[in-house]
Amino acid sequence: MKLICADLDGAIPPVPPRTVGAQWVLVRLHGTPIGVVFPPESGCSPDALRQLALDQLAWPIARHLAADSIGAGDAVPEAFTAPCPRRSAPSATIVTAVVCTRNGAARLDECLDALTSLDYPQERLELLVVDNAPADSSTREVVARYPRVRYVCEPRPGLDWARNCAIRAARGEIIAFTDDDVSVDPGWVRAIAAAFDEEPQAMCVTGLVVPDEIDTPAQALFETYGGFGRGFDRSVARVAPGESAGRKYGGTGRFGTGANMAFRRVFFEREGLFDPALDVGTPANGGGDLEMFFRVLKTGHELVYEPAALVRHRHRRDYAALRTQLVNNGIGFFAYLVRTAEAYPSERLAILRLGVWWLWWWHLRRVLRAMVRPRAFPLELIFAELKGSIVGLRRYGAARRHAADVLRRFESSSDALQPRPREAS
């Protein structure tokens, strides 16, 4: 059952009776996500759903209306239809929306259907698919069915190679990345561009990632474990002069994920491209997005989390795939920590503290809780990510050698391995 969106300032949909999994509704007001409600298994009418939202989300609705200066006291339906002063016309900025995929033709149609339905002027929107080390021509054939989408092939295997290829090929001032197992909301690019316009010092904008469906136990477990969601409150992160970026923001996963992130092109021109030793398709298995979030903050720029930049992610449907994902999450996070400690000597103590604290707070504390409450989350999955974290301590060095080997094998004289940003020891 797909996620249902209910816009309080528009037509409220009915909720059908639940047949499988969990049914939940994302409530929005003036295009901004407010929160989620869980209707009864028997479903509910539009009027009943509106009342459920008012009952359960009264405070965030009131906060939103107060910020708009169009409501006071109790949130009432009459206030919802008033013009929202924060909802502006589309930005004049040219945006390139990128999907990096590897042998993902079977997942691509749903992703591209959503991208080609974006609520953003076509003359200021470029759609780009980067086909990473494809095994066959199936992805190219899918993209050919979408005349507005440009196809580029990157033969070097690895997600960060594909991202760097997209940066070079993109025409936009802003480059927004998503994945082939994601469906973007129609207002995704509009919200990203607006956030950059409102925050001139921002070099990165991330957004809300919600599950597209929760039909299987594995999908429900992933949400129980933490999921990709980072809340419904907009935030701006920055590091003041003299502050430690590692101490304050080393755990950059709090800002989001690579399935929903955007950057100004000028940032890559100043600070370098993604590290091809990180993320999917390398021994590191992840961390490319986390490292770039950290780099934005370490170099003195702002990072904005904008929940209105909404995408839906199709979580792994089976238990084995979820377990593999959690192992890779652990590997990728600790590979990122090692990379950061190598690149920034002044941050090493902060990164070491973060790694030790993470092993305790995220892993061992969960083990103890699961032993007391066995039904909360399977111990096997907690140990899977813990194992990945330990393995990840050794993976960045192997990943660097792997990236150098890829570069040699493809003998590209025009594209040297991106130097890692470093500070003087």
Q: What is the CATH number of the domain that holds 168?
A: 3.90.550.10
Is 165 in the same domain as 181? yes
Its pTM stands at 0.93
The contacts of residue 2 (CB under 8 Å, 6+ apart) are 212, 213
Within a domain: residue 424? no
Give the pLDDT score at 414: 47
In the chain, DSSP finds a helix count (H) and a strand count (E) of: 16, 12
Residue that is last in its domain, among 269, 295, 317: 317
Q: Would you say 303 and 202 are in contact if contact means Cβ atoms under 8 Å apart?
A: yes
The answer, yes or no, to whether residue 177 has pLDDT greater than 90, is yes
Give the pLDDT score at 317: 93
Is 150 in the same domain as 298? yes
Computed over every residue of the chain, the mean pLDDT equals: 91
Tens of pLDDT, residues 12-46: 999 988 887 778 899 999 889 999 999 998 999 99
Tens of pLDDT, residues 33-86: 999 999 998 999 999 999 999 999 999 998 888 877 754 444 455 667 767 766
Is 250 in the same domain as 193? yes
Within a domain: residue 216? yes
Residue that is last in its domain, among 273, 292, 317: 317
**Total residue count of the chain as it appears in this document:** 425
Per-residue pLDDT, averaged over 120-136, amounts to 96
Within a domain: residue 53? yes
Is 275 in the same domain as 161? yes
The contacts of residue 88 (CB under 8 Å, 6+ apart) are 194
* Phi, psi (deg, nearest 5) at residue 131: -90, 110
Is 134 in the same domain as 203? yes
Is 72 in the same domain as 106? no
Is 313 in the same domain as 332? no
- Element at 219 (helix H, strand E): helix 217-225
% pLDDT > 70, the chain = 92
Is 243 in the same domain as 111? yes
The contacts of residue 424 (CB under 8 Å, 6+ apart) are 345
Within a domain: residue 419? no
The answer, yes or no, to whether residue 160 has pLDDT greater than 60, is yes
Per-residue pLDDT, averaged over 185-198, amounts to 96
Give the pLDDT score at 394: 95
Q: Which domain holds residue 56?
A: 4-80
Within a domain: residue 235? yes
Is 21 in the same domain as 145? no
Is 239 in the same domain as 348? no
Within a domain: residue 90? no
Within a domain: residue 371? yes
Residue that is last in its domain, among 30, 49, 80: 80
The answer, yes or no, to whether residue 424 has pLDDT greater than 90, is no
If one counts the domains in the chain, the total is: 3
Within a domain: residue 270? yes
Q: Is the dihedral of CA 145, 146, 150, 156 positive or negative?
A: negative
Is 16 in the same domain as 135? no
Alpha-carbon distance values, 163 to 59, 61, 153, 419 (Å): 40, 37, 11, 16
Nearest to 115 by CA among 175, 189, 205, 193: 189
Is 197 in the same domain as 153? yes
